[in-house]
A and B are shown apart, each in its own frame.
Chain A
Amino acid sequence: MDILTQQVKSVSVMTVKGRVDSATAPDLENALKQLVEGDKTQIVLDLKDVEYMSSAGLRAMVSTLKAVKRINGDLRLCTPSPRVAEVLRLAGLNSIFSIYPTQADAVGSF
């Protein structure tokens, strides 16, 4: 799994590539945690290149969403691959996260 983080004005855009499973999800959670601890609370997670995600990845995303919501921030998702979209739906998370069809839409929503 590779993680690239860019700053677009006030929004942090984190692009994830590869597999997010129980072996790699802790790295994703730590990367998200570092953003929040650095007062970056407007976050877009780009999932276009995530080929596979298990509940371990969802756990990292949900814990971050809870943390940023408490300080008036948000974690918004964009361009989930079909497999990731299915996992989000199976978990009932597609009604909890704001999900956008493009990265520009997600960034512009803040």
Chain B
Amino acid sequence: MSESRLIVPARYDRIKQICAFVVEAAEMAGLDDAAAFHCQLAVDEACTNIIEHGYEGEDKGQIEIVCHTSPELLKIDLRDQAPPFDVSQVPGPPPNPGLEDMRVGGLGVHFVKTVMDEVVYTHENGTNSLLLVKRRSAAG
């Protein structure tokens, strides 16, 4: 298993850089294009939540992204020092909502939970850690 690490200021204009870093790791892990896209989407949504709900704004701290690649899977660990924010506790959108009931604000967390194989949140010694796991499909 190999490890790569990126630390960036918590800013929305760094999301693109974070996504490129994760897609490169996904390719190293042998994930197919669809799985790499899922990793990109999940990391984008999770980092956006860290900035918006964790730090409550830009330039309030850093986000550390650690990718562990192996022949079978990609593990992405997102770490920040914002107040605890457990995305796994955020309710998903209601099923088949009408337009006026559509809460787009909760969609990001819904995407993270839907496209990744595992999502594990921990908070320890002032650091939030969101572990996202994507496994290679049998066809990949």
Does A49 have its Cβ within 8 Å of any Cβ on chain B? no
Return A71 CB to nearest CB of chain B, in Å: 14
Q: Report the minimum CB–CB distance from B23 to chain A (whole Å).
A: 10
- Contact: B104 with A90, CB < 8 Å? no
User: B93 touching A54 by the CB < 8 A rule?
Assistant: no
Residues of B contacting A83 with CB < 8 Å? Answer: 37
Mask: chain A, 75-102; 1 = CB below 8 Å from B; 0 = not:
0000000010011001111011000000
Please determine whether A69 and B107 come into contact, CB atoms closer than 8 angstroms: no
Q: Mark A53-87, 1 if CB is under 8 A from B, else 0.
A: 01110110011011001000000000000010011
Please provide the chain B residues from 92 to 117 with a CB less than 8 Å away from any CB of chain A in the complex. 93, 95-100, 102, 104-105, 107-108, 110-111, 114-115
**CB pair A22 B96 closer than 8 Å:** no
CB-nearest residue of chain B to A26:
B12
Which of B39-47, B66-74, B81-89 sits within the interface?
A: B39-47
> How far apart are the CA atoms of A90 and B42 in the complex, in Å?
12
How far is it, in angstroms, between the C-alpha of A54 and the C-alpha of B37 when the chains are bound? 11
Inter-chain contact B104/A92, CB cutoff 8 Å: no
Q: Is the CB of B48 within 8 A of A54?
A: yes
The verdict on A59 contacting B105 (CB below 8 Å), with A22-B15, A96-B99 known, is: yes
Report the interface size for chain A: residues with CB under 8 A from the other chain.
24
In the assembled complex, A4 has its CB within 8 A of some CB on chain B: no
Number of interface residues of B (CB under 8 A): 29
Once A54-B108, A90-B114, A92-B93 are accepted as A-B contacts, the answer to whether A23 and B13 lie under 8 Å apart by CB is yes
CB within 8 A of A22: which of B40, B48, B93, B100?
A: B48
Known: A69-B99, A95-B96. A54 touches B114 (CB 8 A): no
Closest residue of chain B to A19, judged by CB? B16
Query: Knowing that A87-B111, A90-B111 are A-B contacts, what are 17 other residue pairs whose CB atoms are under 8 Å apart, sorted by A's residue number?
Result: A21-B15, A22-B12, A22-B52, A23-B13, A23-B15, A23-B16, A54-B111, A55-B104, A56-B108, A58-B107, A59-B105, A62-B104, A90-B110, A90-B115, A91-B93, A93-B102, A95-B96
